[in-house]
Amino acid sequence: MYVVQIASECAPVIKAGGLGDVVYGLSRELEIRGHCVELILPMYDCMRYDHIWGLHDAYRDLWVPWFGGAIHCSVFCGWVHGRVCFFIQPHSGDNFFNRGRYYGELDDHMRFAFFSKAALEFLLQSNKRPDIIHCHDWQTGLLPVLLFEMYKYNGLWNQRVCYTIHNFKHQGIAGADVLWATGLNREPYYFTYDRLQDNFNPFALNFMKGGIVYSNYVNTVSPHHAWEARYTDIGYGLGHTLELHQHKFGGILNGVDYEVWNPEDDRYIPYHYSPENLQDKVLNKKALRERLLLEESDKPLVAFIGRLDQQKGVHLVHHAIYYALNKGAQFVLLGSATEGGINSWFHHEKHHLNDNPNCHLELGFNEELSHLIYAGADLIVVPSNYEPCGLTQTIGLRYGTVPIVRGVGGLLNTVFDRDHDPNKPPEERNGYVFYQTDFNALESAMGRALDLWFNEPEEFRKLVLQGMACDYSWNNPGAQYVGVYEHIRHK
Ligand SMILES: Nc1ncnc2c1ncn2[C@@H]1O[C@H](COP(=O)(O)OP(=O)(O)O[C@H]2O[C@H](CO)[C@@H](O)[C@H](O)[C@H]2O)[C@@H](O)[C@H]1O
């Protein structure tokens, strides 16, 4: 099959979070399975150009209709760790992708509506006719709408769309201007409940809803979150739309790219290890301590890696730091916040804890350091409010770092409590789970984990090995996506 992935991120060249990991990892898995995969991405000024090989201009004169005129674009092609990527660079006063950051601009809806339109225009004009177009998140929600309402009649008549939702919270809310910009026009047609009209605000359009309504298949990134999105408020108002389209909606658990995340040959960690020489993991702990100027001692090291956002349960992350320190553990946090209040809160904490030899808060995005933290930590906390899938717990498992998670979304599909899990025998359990959002709940799980580390090192080691034995590679999810593609292709 010929598959084109269209997304706003692809790790490591463009990565703000887990979306980038998934787009890259899935593409690689599909290629291993013998499919032809290409990616279409925005050409941001701030992406990691050092991860692109052989960047050259592939298509010079792409004119993308926009409002009454057209915007001139160049399309560059290059290889990102083996994947063929096309980067769209518009030349206009809007400077859509030259903002020094990927998201968070006031005109984000216009930037990504333009990207969706430009990606289709590129397929059309360069005569690319993929079997499957795979779109991700709100940024490309408008793409299936444009495909099936316009481009289908211009030459892209045989393409099928799989649409993956990584986060229901961000849906792409826009006004009618987007219809006029993209040439969809017909306001009364799109402003209806069964098309793009937002379920809360009748005067707004919702890109993600468009993606759900128009795509041939829609999924979120774990089976449990698929259930939550339909039956709880975690669908952020789209529950009923999913109900109406339930025949084409499901949950496919994310994989982890074990080529990138592998303690046996990770180029960002100084000491490689596997279950056979697990004793070498502690050398990475030492290296991490040296790098972050933490005291060398006989203490467990707890980590958090992730966006500092309400989604991630920041109040519990904050509490986890002090609870760990009080219990005689060390704590390392790597995270970045986009929201001002959370940002200043954690900067304040960083300042406050600056001289503490047992704690380090690294505020910012640092891919290389994240690898060393996964390798050096003993435990990783993921106390999310909601979590469509979550990758830090599955990466942690791979690195022998025991996860302590809240039982929501994909966390529930991947982590099984050592002390009580009705569905898993003890030898298949791999971490600690708590359910409520209060401090006591977090403490009950962290307390049990730290007690095991301190008092029963042999049992802790057993738990680590059970975690490392779990298979969260792309193998299973890859097969499921291929199944979906085959299914919609022949419909
Ligand atoms: N400051 C930092 N420095 C370096 N690396 C950092 C970092 N902060 C995060 N990362 C890395 O980014 C990834 C985050 O993965 P998550 O699953 O937490 O994704 P996120 O919530 O962004 O995305 C959404 O999409 C993904 C993919 O579908 C879902 O798993 C998830 O539930 C959903 O919320 C991991 O690879 C992590 O190591």
Q: Give pLDDT tens digits for 398-437.
A: 999 999 999 999 999 999 999 999 999 999 999 999 999 9
88/146 same-domain check: yes
Q: What local confidence, expressed as pLDDT, does residue 50 receive?
A: 97
Locate 156 and state its tokens. 């892209």
Look at residue 491 and tell me whether its pLDDT is greater than 90: no
What is the domain extent for residue 353?
275-468
Question: Between the CA of residue 129 and those of 2, 120, 133, what are the distances in Å?
Answer: 8, 10, 9
Q: What is the DSSP letter of 296?
A: P
308 by DSSP, 3-state: which? coil
- Assess whether the C-beta atom of 215 lies below 6 angstroms from ligand 1: no
- Whether 74 is covered by a domain: the verdict is yes
Look at residue 111 and tell me whether its pLDDT is greater than 80: yes
Q: Which atom of ligand 1 is nearest to the CA of 387?
A: 32
- Whether 265 is covered by a domain: the verdict is no
The mean pLDDT of the chain is 97
350/307 same-domain check: yes
Q: What local confidence, expressed as pLDDT, does residue 465 receive?
A: 98
Q: What local confidence, expressed as pLDDT, does residue 11 receive?
A: 97
204/147 same-domain check: yes
Q: What local confidence, expressed as pLDDT, does residue 490 receive?
A: 86
37/138 same-domain check: yes
- Whether 261 is covered by a domain: the verdict is no
User: Among candidates 482, 16, 18, 4, which has minimal Cα distance to 252?
Assistant: 482
* Residues flagged as binding site for ADP-alpha-D-glucose: 15
Alpha-carbon distance 31 to 80, whole Å? 14
What is the average pLDDT across 462-490?
97
296/245 same-domain check: no
What is the average pLDDT across 448-457?
98
416/480 same-domain check: no
- Whether 376 is covered by a domain: the verdict is yes
- Whether 132 is covered by a domain: the verdict is yes
CB 212 within 8 A of CB 163: yes
Domain count, the chain: 2
Alpha-carbon distance 411 to 228, whole Å? 13
112/200 same-domain check: yes
480/464 same-domain check: no
Q: Give pLDDT tens digits for 72-94.
A: 999 999 999 999 999 999 999 99
What is the average pLDDT across 451-475?
98
Q: Give pLDDT tens digits for 363-398.
A: 999 999 999 999 999 999 999 999 999 999 999 999
- Whether 301 is covered by a domain: the verdict is yes
- Whether 394 is covered by a domain: the verdict is yes
103/228 same-domain check: yes
- Assess whether the C-beta atom of 206 lies below 6 angstroms from ligand 1: no
243/289 same-domain check: no
- Assess whether the C-beta atom of 225 lies below 6 angstroms from ligand 1: no
Question: Between the CA of residue 83 and those of 124, 299, 419, what are the distances in Å?
Answer: 21, 42, 42
Name which residue sits closest to atom 5 of ligand 1, judged by CA.
367
Look at residue 260 and tell me whether its pLDDT is greater than 80: yes
Q: How many residues does the chain have?
A: 491
Alpha-carbon distance 490 to 487, whole Å? 6
Give the domain CATH number at 362.
3.40.50.2000
393/450 same-domain check: yes
Name which residue sits closest to atom 36 of ligand 1, judged by CA.
18
Residue ranges of alpha helices (H) inside 260-354 are 281-292, 314-326, 340-352
- Assess whether the C-beta atom of 387 lies below 6 angstroms from ligand 1: yes
Name which residue sits closest to atom 19 of ligand 1, judged by CA.
18
ipTM greater than 0.95, yes or no? Answer: yes
- Whether 91 is covered by a domain: the verdict is yes
CB 212 within 8 A of CB 137: no
Q: What local confidence, expressed as pLDDT, does residue 89 receive?
A: 98
247/298 same-domain check: no
What predicted TM-score, i.e. pTM, was given to this entire model?
0.97
Of the pLDDT bands very low, low, confident and very high (cuts 50, 70, 90), residue 64 is very high
